[in-house]
Amino acid sequence: MSYKNFSEAYIQPQYTSLKPVSKDATTNFSQELQIFLAKYQEFTSTKSHLDILRYCYDHYINCDPISRDLPIQDKLKQAGEMAKNSWTLLLEQEDNHGN
C-alpha cells in the first residue's frame, strides 16, 4: 500500500509547525508536501517514513531560527536528508544488535 495520498489526511493543523498557522498556510503546506512526495517517493513507501519526515520537519527544521524562513520545499529537503540519516543510523544499530 502506498501512502502517497495518505499525506493529505495525515496533515492536521497541529502538525504543521510549532507556531499557530492559518488554514491557508496549512493548505499551502499540504500542497507543497504533495509536490515533495511526488519527487521523493521513498517517503511514501510506509507510514513510518512519512512520520519520520514530518517529525524532522516539525521538531528540527521548522523550529530552527536559521531555516524557519526558508521556502517550504527547501525545509522539506532538509527534513528529508535528516530523515534519511536517521534511517541509516537505525539500520546500522539493528545490524549491530543482530550480530
| DSSP 8-state assignment for residue 71 | -
- Structural domain boundaries in the chain: 6-98
Q: Taking residues 52-67, what's their average pLDDT? A: 91
Residue 97 has pLDDT above 80, yes or no: no
Residue 92 has pLDDT above 50, yes or no: yes
Structural contact between residues 54 and 15, judged by C-beta atoms closer than 8 angstroms: yes
pLDDT band at 98 (very low <50, low <70, confident <90, very high): low
CB-based contacts of 62: which residues, under 8 Å, 6+ apart? 17, 18, 68, 75
Nearest to residue 71, comparing CAs of 62, 82, 81? 62
pLDDT digits over 5-24, tens only? 555 445 544 444 445 455 55
pLDDT digits over 35-45, tens only? 999 999 988 88
Residue 27 has pLDDT above 80, yes or no: no
